[in-house]
């Protein structure tokens, strides 16, 4: 932009050329003012754009941090769930083995009881058959 003294000096020099020269000077000054105003507007827009870009980048960094934490938490939850399922499979395996041992023990006790009953039956039979008292044999063991 021209300072006022330069503008007045230019008007005095262009005075002899008439109105078209003064109009050209005014057109030149107006165009320069518009270009300067336009340049300032572009600069303001560029600053606003850069500010928006910076804010956007900060938001993206926060989002990325939140997303990273969320993924890590989900991975941790998946690890804990896997550990729980592994522990449950071990528990089921041990429970099945314990149940089989109890079943084997039950079979053993059943055989033991059957053998015990057979031994007592044999003992009772021998007691009945080996009564020394003739009177007890005559009564049939009802003495």
Q: How far apart are the first and last CA of the chain?
A: 148
Q: How far is CA 12 from CA 5, 24, 36, 142, 143, in A?
A: 11, 14, 25, 164, 166
How many whole angstroms separate alpha carbon 55 and alpha carbon 124? 101
Question: Are residues 127 and 141 in contact, defined by beta-carbon separation less than 8 angstroms?
Answer: no
State yes or no: pLDDT of 86 exceeds 60: yes
At residue 116, the pLDDT reads 94
Task: Decide which of 130 and 118 is more confident.
Answer: 118
Write down the domain spans for the chain: 4-113
Distances (CA, A) of 21 to 11, 79, 134: 9, 85, 168
pLDDT tens figures, 4-22: 777 777 777 777 877 777 7
pLDDT band of 108, cuts 50, 70, 90:
very high
d(CA 105, CA 100): 9
Q: What is the mean pLDDT of residues 121-135?
A: 78
Q: What is the SS3 assignment for 61? A: helix
Residue 85 CA to residue 82 CA, distance in Å, equals: 5
Contact, 128 vs 141, CB < 8 A? Answer: yes
């Amino acid at each position: 932009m021209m300072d006022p003294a330069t503008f007045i000096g230019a008007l005095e020099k262009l005075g002899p050329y008439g109105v078209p020269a003064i109009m050209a000077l005014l057109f030149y000054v107006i165009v320069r003012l518009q270009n300067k105003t336009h340049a300032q507007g572009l600069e303001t827009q560029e600053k606003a754009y850069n500010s928006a870009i910076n804010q956007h980048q900060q938001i993206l960094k926060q989002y990325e941090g939140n997303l990273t934490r969320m993924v890590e938490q989900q991975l941790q939850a998946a690890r804990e769930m896997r550990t729980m399922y592994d522990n449950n499979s071990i528990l089921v395996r041990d429970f099945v083995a314990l149940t089989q041992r109890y079943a084997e023990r039950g079979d053993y006790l059943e055989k033991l009881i059957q053998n015990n009953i057979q031994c007592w039956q044999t003992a009772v039979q021998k007691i009945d058959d080996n009564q020394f008292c003739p009177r007890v044999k005559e009564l049939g063991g009802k003495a």
